[in-house]
Amino acid sequence: MASGSAVISPAAIMAPNPIRICFKESKYEFLKALRFPIYFVSTVIVPLMFYVLFGLVMGRQSIGSVTAAAYLIPAYGTFGVMGASLFGTAAGLAGDRGMGWLVVKKASPMPTYAYFLAKLVMSMIFSTIDVLMLLVLGVAFGGVHIAPIAAMKLVLTLICGTVPFYSMGLAIGYFATPTSAPAVINLFYLPMSFCSGLWMPIMFLPHFIQKIALFLPPYHLSQLAFAQVGASMGRSQLLHWESLIGFTLICLGLAWVGHQRDQKLNG
């Protein structure tokens, strides 16, 4: 505090701790979503409700070599991961952009990555809640037997699965308006879930839909997850991972275009 003209002279500025910023940003992003009933209901309650109805009530029927109760954990897990990542990211970003809040954040010294990291962390936390609850319900009430290692791999696979849908959420969020975002999300979310075999096992779907599914990221994520309960269609895991990575890169590219467009117009 020696300098008399502290306002002008470049003061020795100690940068705040970026880890602390990211932690707080994520914490409040999570709280924000947790207190927003529509988000919580559509991303956590709906997949669980589906599971109780179709997985537990009709759980003794078998799908391929496994029971419905076991089959539907990866299926609704993928569904939940998609919902948590898409709604949190796309609707949040479109709203923050369209209503000026993102500009307020950018005008502050917040590192931009903290904003985006927080949305990813939030998607991952809700995805984890989804998958863990499905597992608990399945094991406790659905008679599902799953080895601890397989269960852990299932959870980790689905948590990784938030990344492609988070990226897709960014792409939608940069091009949708606050009012159109939820509609655009549902336009992708529901048909993609159906065609990927998340609601009805894919072998029961018409042949042409099974072909379309090869181009849909939820199909690839669900196949990776099904492998953990012994219910995948047996395609190479590498193919599924590569498809998801490719899809992620395309979405991030689109988001980057939207980001550049925003910078020019609104700052």
Ranges within 9-38 binding another protein (CB under 8 A): 10-11, 13-16, 20-21, 24-25, 28, 31-32, 35-36
Judged by CB under 8 A, the stretch of 109-117, 136-144, 180-188, 249-257 that binds another protein is 109-117
- The answer to whether 7 contacts another protein (rule: CB under 8 A) is yes
**C-alpha 13, offset from chain centre:** 37
Selected from 49, 53, 58, 104, the binder of another protein by CB under 8 A is 104
Bridge partners (DSSP) of residue 67 are 62
Residue 237: Cβ within 10 Å count: 14
Least distance from another protein to the Cβ atom of residue 74, Å: 31
Which whole-number Å values give the CA distances from 28 to 33, 37, 94, 167, 221, in the listed order?
A: 8, 16, 18, 21, 28
Compute the least distance from the CB of residue 105 to another protein, in Å: 9
According to the binding rule CB under 8 A, does residue 8 interact with another protein?
Answer: yes
Q: Confirm if 72 and 51 have CB atoms less than 8 A apart.
A: yes
| Matching residue, tokens 């599902």 | 144
Q: Which is nearer to another protein, 7 or 238 (CB)?
A: 7
Residue of the chain from 45, 46, 48, 111 that contacts another protein (CB under 8 A) = 111
Interaction of residue 149 with another protein, rule CB under 8 A: no
- Contact call for residues 86 and 189 (beta carbons, < 8 A): yes
Given 55, 82, 178, 201, the residue binding another protein (CB under 8 A): 178
Least Å distance, CB 103 to another protein, is 6
* Site for another protein contains 108 (CB under 8 A): yes
Residue number, 117 or 134, with CB nearest to another protein: 117
The nearest distance, CB 205 to another protein, in angstroms, is: 39
Maximum Cα–Cα distance across the chain: 80
Site for another protein (CB under 8 A): how many residues?
38
**Residue type at position 150:** A
H-type helices in the chain, by residue range?
18-34, 37-40, 46-50, 68-86, 92-98, 101-107, 112-141, 148-160, 162-175, 181-195, 207-213, 217-226, 237-265
Sole binder of another protein in the list 53, 101, 211, 245 (CB under 8 A): 101
List 55, 74, 80, 95, residue binding another protein (CB under 8 A):
95
CA distances for 32 relative to 28, 40, 122, 123, 187, angstroms: 6, 10, 10, 12, 25
Where on the phi/psi map is residue 63: left (φ > 0), alpha (ψ -120 to 50), or beta? beta
Min separation Cβ 16 and another protein, Å? 5
| Residues at the site binding another protein, with contacts judged by CB under 8 A | 1, 4-8, 10-11, 13-16, 20-21, 24-25, 28, 31-32, 35-36, 95, 98-101, 103-104, 106-111, 178, 265-267
